[in-house]
Amino acid sequence: MNANDNKAIFFKREALRRVVQAFDQGTLETHAYRIPFQVIPRDSKSPVRCCIYKERAVFRARTLAALGCGVEEDDEATSLNEYAKEALLRKDVPTVPLTVLDIACKGCVKARHIVTEACQGCLARHCQQACKFGAISFENGKSKINPDKCKNCGQCKEACPYNAITYVPVPCEQACPVDAIHKDETGFAKINFEKCISCGQCMDACPFGAIMERSQLIDVLTSMKSTRKMCAMIAPSIVGQFDCTLGQLITALKKAGFDKVTEVALGADITTTNEARELVERLENGAKFMTTSCCAAWIQAVKKHLPALKEFVSHTKTPAGYTAEIEKKKGYTTVFIGPCVSKRAEGMEDPNIDYVMTYEEIGALLEARQISPAQCEETPLDPEISAEARYYGVTGGVAQAVENAINGKRPFKKMALNGLDKKTMLLLNAYARGTGDFQLLEVMSCKGGCIGGPCTLKKQAAVIKPIKELVAKSPRVKDALK
Q: What is the pLDDT of residues 123-171, one digit of tens each?
A: 999 999 999 999 999 998 899 999 899 998 999 999 999 999 999 989 9
Domain match, 332 and 402 both: yes
Q: How far apart are CA 194 and CA 305, in angstroms?
A: 10
Mean pLDDT, the chain, integer: 94
Structural domain count of the chain: 4
- Give the β-pairing of 181-183 and 165-168: unpaired
- The mean pLDDT value for 267-287 works out to 97
Domain match, 205 and 223 both: no
Q: Residue 194 sits in which domain range?
A: 94-105+173-214
- CA 69, chain centre distance (Å): 18
- The mean pLDDT value for 230-241 works out to 98
**Angle 296-305/342-349 helices, nearest 10 degrees?**
80
**48 or 71: which leads in pLDDT:** 71
Is the confidence at residue 228, as pLDDT, over 70?
yes
- Write out the E strands in 354-439: 355-358, 414-418
Domain finish residue from 151, 184, 214: 214
**Angle 319-329/342-349 helices, nearest 10 degrees?**
50
We report the CATH number of the domain holding residue 196 as 3.30.70.20
Is the confidence at residue 402, as pLDDT, over 50?
yes
281-321: per-residue pLDDT in tens? 999 999 999 999 999 999 999 999 999 999 999 999 999 99
Is the confidence at residue 50, as pLDDT, over 90?
no
Q: Has residue 479 been placed in a domain?
A: no
Provide the 3-class DSSP secondary structure of residue 290: strand
Domain match, 33 and 140 both: no
Domain match, 336 and 411 both: yes
Domain match, 371 and 440 both: yes
Domain match, 152 and 180 both: no
- Write out the E strands in 359-428: 414-418
Domain match, 203 and 276 both: no
Q: Has residue 462 been placed in a domain?
A: yes
Domain match, 195 and 225 both: no
Domain match, 29 and 153 both: no
Domain finish residue from 148, 168, 188: 168
CA neighbor of 341 nearest in space, from 199, 445, 191, 175: 199
We report the CATH number of the domain holding residue 399 as 3.40.950.10
